[in-house]
Structure 1
């Protein structure tokens, strides 16, 4: 059986093996079904198998998305699936289901696939490893996610896409214009107006959302001497940093970060450090920023 698994992995492209390719090399469906039953490979969609274990849920979703859309006419990956295959981040996404969009409803849809229908669909060809898959444009996927789960879910990938150059503000505006009249479009447009490619991580994007909601103007990615900070308030010399790695298992990294913070403080700046948990409590963020402002030395 080890030889069979080795053969299947050799035939696979980016970890995916189609039943057609397997059959062409002498491996029939019975062998594939038996290997799936033993847990050696995973059936992702009809005639599509994952023969190399996915390292995490995102990679599994990417592989499943590629398998699901294979061979479907005038159908593209959409919503979070269209973002994941492009390597863009998602926020609060349910990656157990693959999202596809087409111009006509299909009679039979697997339970792990959410099939959406639109009057017209424009498809991009997205290169994933050695495979090319159809997906809706980035702007459409971002807007779809926003209408489905709210503005923050859209803003996180929008920031990342703008930063890497695969999305523009004009693209977002055009995609929003296509869904005028849908419930939630107005609030989504307001939040996507905050899209800023200077945010470097989803945590920084969500930190910015908190500051916007508190009515605090700020500038992302500002240099203070030799140090670049995530955000600097425009009206007060207060730095706001997102700390997604409070773990700091490396003692040297922990010490270096403390020295950096002290160096920034020595220049007369207040300093607020936020974690993932903090971002879910707007009142806590407001209180920390207020304490940092109140602690600033005042010129007489």
Structure 2
């Protein structure tokens, strides 16, 4: 069995395998067996183990971004940016780009696209550059603004919410947006930034809020705790203490597990909590990722919001 050499990033590079007498056919066979994943020409990595907490797609893209950034001939003149920088910052995005790696020139020169790389025009100010695991990337604030300006309103709101929750400086992002007023996507990004809120706890919650905003709905209170007969009940959204909205992500009940609980136990406990809220006359609505993908949230909420007394 071949022992594949890895570098400081966990990458297996062709030059290193050849030095150990491991030929390309052996690497290709390991990829076919599922032992390795191919990231870029001449670069592979070990497949994720079953206990890894990182999503396999996120891991593969993060490693691919590192592979391309550290292999590129112009690596001293460009740094990871946009979705690729977000991957290294572990910044969750809505519908992230996973097919190509994004870099930005550090100097004021034009960009280009080639193979797995999209290289954006610079410059990047020195104080907007940080190292994550030894790799140069745009800092959290610059990354969020770049991603927001390249996406739609929902994608922009998601990245700003997640950046604020991760500790990004609001003033720095505001200054960056102000300096780009004539850039493509600036208007959408500024509008999203005006609604950004670190209280949002997931991509799904932020996307839900984006659909509420675009529907013109009154904004809910977030993460409020109600006292019930079943104990404290913390909810995602509520309007006037009369209507509660809950986004049910695929992993929500896994996150709610208490020591010794099964997902079914958590589901039953959540049902009791919901019943306790309803016993106080509070209506509880739930929706899933599918609701958001189909853009059905507004239709779900509208009839119930219309029943609320006017402020």
TM-score (norm 1): 0.82
Q: In the alignment, is residue 193 of structure 1 matched against residue 194 of structure 2?
A: yes
Displacement, 1:246? Answer: 8.7
Q: Does the Cα contact within 8 Å between 1:272 and 1:292 map onto a contact in 2?
A: no
> Where in structure 2 are the equivalents of 1:4-83 lying within 5 Å?
4=2, 6=3, 8-9=4-5, 11-19=6-14, 26-27=19-20, 31-40=22-31, 41-45=36-40, 49-54=43-48, 56-70=56-70, 72-83=75-86
In structure 1, which of residues 251, 270, 275 is the aligned counterpart of residue 283 of structure 2?
270
Task: After TM superposition, give the deviation of residue 46 of structure 1 in Å.
Answer: 5.7
- Counterpart for residue 101 of structure 2: 98
User: For 1:91, what is the secondary structure of its paired residue?
Assistant: coil
* Paired residues of 1:204 and 1:242 also in contact (CA < 8 A): yes
TM-superposition CA deviations, 1:158-208 (whole Å, max 9, x none): 21221121x122122122123220123122201121111111111111111
Distance 1:94 1:293, change over 3 A: closer
Q: CA deviation at 1:224?
A: 0.7
The Cα of 1:15 is off from its aligned counterpart by: 2.5
* Matching residue of 1:137: 139
Cα distance between partner residues in 2 of 1:43 and 1:245: 28
Unaligned segments of structure 1, at least 5 residues = none
Q: Which runs of 5+ in 2 are unaligned?
A: 49-54, 254-261
Number of residue pairs matched? 280
Could you say if the C-alpha distance between residues 16 and 155 of structure 1 is closer, same or farther in structure 2, counting changes exceeding 3 Å? same
Change (3 A) 1:246 1:33: closer
CA-based RMSD: 2.8
Give the alignment of 1:145-294 within 5 angstroms. Answer: 145-165=147-167, 167-213=168-214, 214-225=216-227, 226-234=232-240, 237-245=242-250, 250-281=263-294, 284-293=296-305
**Secondary structure, aligned partner of 1:239:** strand
Residues of 2 paired with 1:27 and 1:121: CA distance? 41
Query: 2:8 & 2:233 partners in 1: Cα distance?
Result: 44
CA distance in 2, matches of 1:20, 1:264: 62
Indicate which of 88, 91, 102 corresponds to 1:88: 91
Cα pair distance change 1:46/1:84, threshold 3 Å:
same
**1:119-130 equivalence runs, <5 A:** 119-122=123-126, 123-128=128-133
CA positional deviation for 1:294:
6.2
Offset of residue 141 of structure 1: 1.9
Contact 2:161 2:196 in 1 (8 A): yes
1-side partners of 2:277 and 2:63: how far apart?
Answer: 44
